[in-house]
Structure 1
Amino acid sequence: MKIERINVIGVSGSGKSTVAKVLAEKLSLAYVEMDRIFWGPDWYWPTDEEFFQQLKQEIAGEQWVLDGNYSRTAPLKWERVQLVVWVDMPFWTTLIQATGRAVKRSWTKEELWPGTGNRESFRKSFLSKDSIILWTIKTYKSVRKRYQECMSDERYSHIQFVRLRSREEIRRFVAEMGR
């Protein structure tokens, strides 16, 4: 069976976006970023109805790599997915990567998703209750527990799960998928 619908998941800062982009490029599949679908201009937070409708449109095709979690979307995004790639890096690796990304984005003021005006700031990244670093720390254990449960959940028995726990495992997996 040819794998054409993939969801890359993992804790914030784990490296899932990097893995998803590399897989999409290697396999010549569309790259779909859930954060881009979710976040509107000026950090607009859509209703679930709006979010789910946009997600349905983005994954209506037959070939895509979906980057992102949003656990409430699992029934929708995993209905037709063939492969779920769980980037499950150690806590300290994840925290260092999330912190490094926050520093870079705060420094460069890059727009996160074109046309939204959304940018990370030092204050938002390090001194706010909405800090992505704080989010990574608070959710690391619960996200991992949830994905461990999903891997053995009968509702998802049609899905092949791959759990990658190191950069070397990621490198080998991506190389194998590219063949």
Structure 2
Amino acid sequence: MDRIAIIGCGGSGKTTIARRLGQITGAPVTHLDVVYYDDEWNTLPQDKFAAIQHELVAQPRWVIDGNFASTLLIRLARADTVIFLDLPALTCLWGIAQRRRRHGGGQHDATGVYDRITWQFIRYVWNYRRTMAPRVRSLIAEHAGHADVHRVTSRRAANQLVAELAARATAG
């Protein structure tokens, strides 16, 4: 468990899981939203975003969270552990609301992740399991056969997985 890719819809808990697994493993954590967006929501050019990810995954140990299906293959090719947070839309929307309540929008102090909620984003979250999740599952099946893959469908299951991985990390 040296190279962990965490994938999932907005509000699914990627950042929280990444932070917890980073603490457990001691691996550096990268939140791809921080890499891709600046504080005004300008985006990196796709080639630069991909190049940064190639550099990140070349490292011996890492935890990287983010969906970004267009560059998912970069992470899947090197990950030894893949966690797909495939939670229901209402759970993710609740997660977004809780994050907004906790941080009041703007930048989250602990992660550097910026919180931006638009109607387009809410539609994306609502439709994620129907539109994006099948693509992500297909990419994982096709490109992560070498990895320990976990598909998580509830917050309870996510917490149980983190506890299991923590036990493995301390035992190994």
Confirm or deny a common fold (TM above 0.5).
yes
1:12 alignment partner, SS class: coil
- Structure 1 stretches of 4+ with a deviation exceeding 6 A read none
Query: Larger Cα Rg: Structure 1 or Structure 2?
Result: 1
- Percentage identity across paired residues of the two chains: 22
Deviation at 1:10, TM superposition (A): 0.7
CA RMSD in angstroms comes to 2.4
Task: Verify the 8 A CA contact 2:57 2:78 in the aligned structure 1.
Answer: no
What TM-score do the two structures reach when normalised by structure 2? 0.83
Tell whether 2:107 aligns with 1:111. yes
| Residues 170 and 109 of structure 1, relative CA distance in 2, 3 Å threshold | closer
Q: TM-score, normalised by structure 1?
A: 0.80
Residue equivalent to 2:170 = none
What runs of 5+ residues in structure 2 fail to find an aligned partner?
A: 168-172
Superposition deviation, residue 135 in structure 1: 2.6
Name the SS of the counterpart of 1:101 in structure 2.
Answer: helix
Q: Partner of 1:144 in structure 2?
A: 133
TM-superposition CA deviations, 1:78-117 (whole Å, max 9, x none):
2211111011222211121123323544xx3442589x9x
Of the three residues 154, 158, 168, the one matched with 1:166 is 154
Aligned to 1:134: 123
Count of residue pairs brought into register by the alignment: 166
Q: SS at the partner of 2:18?
A: helix
- Structure 1 residue runs of 5 or longer lacking an equivalent are none
Alignment of 1:78-97 (within 5 A): 78-97=76-95
Look up the equivalent residue of 1:148 and give its one-letter code: R
